[in-house]
Amino acid sequence: MDMPKRPPPADRLEHARQLLDGGEPTLDALAQAVGIGASQLQRRFRARFGLSPAQYLAQRKLGRLKAALRDGGGVSAALYDAGYGSPSRVYEAGAARLGMTPARYRAGGAGETLRWSLVDTALGLALVAATSRGVCMVELGEDAAALEAKLRHEFPHARHQRVDAGRDEFLAPRVQAIARRLAGGESAVAVDLVGTAFQKKVWDALMRIPAGQTRSYAQLAAQLGQPAAARAVASACAHNRLAVVVPCHRVIRSDGSLGGYRWGLPLKQQLLERERAA
């Protein structure tokens, strides 16, 4: 039997990605299909896409699960349709990946409590929201309704408990700590980072950049051992929900220009100048 025609070298990683989109090949089978050694494929795939083939496949499955749950299908059917061999496979890690169990995710966060408050800060109006694990969102803006809409977008049926000015024993110290951080001060803040494994690695690295210093996207990618993943680093920065607390403003382009910033380049410039002056 003739072997399938292998793609030209420039297309092999993309072909590997397409094979992962359509099935669940082992690393050895994937390497054989695209004509690259398994260890080389693992290394080059991670550099190109920011994830190993196994991590990429896991994220694809999780994405299919989320879509099936949001479409209103039964939890068991959604699990099997997404490619999980048994419910225990996703329940074991589901809370960490979804932020809650699949059944609660399907219900739009029903049963989860997010406590949140609006507060005037040195950077303007901010929405601070927290789960029982820590602060999960620090969103900046000018319109209170728009800020609340952003909070409700991911988990529309969660129990959203607004606390005026953060006045309760749980949220008050967290809101106060965030306000100090937004004003340029130091304060310890427990956070609840919800994202992919790669995003969390980027966000953790961001929080280790000293105030007053910057890193380029390429430098951060190299620091993570994935020098070709600068675009993936930029994407992780763009998906950061914790303004200033996870300091994505400290990442710039290799040429020294600011690059992008979720909350606007003027604010990014302001934050960098404030930290340098301090």
**Which residues are marked as active site?**
248
Which two tokens mark 225? 């051992």
- Cβ atoms of residues 135 and 245 within 8 Å: yes
Question: CA-to-CA distance for 278 and 183, rounded, in angstroms?
Answer: 12
Say how many C-beta atoms besides its own lie within 10 A of residue 191's C-beta: 20
Dist CA 128 CA 151 (whole Å): 9
d(CA 222, CA 240): 20
Q: How far apart are CA 105 and CA 126, in angstroms?
A: 26
- Which residues face 135 on adjacent strands? 130, 191
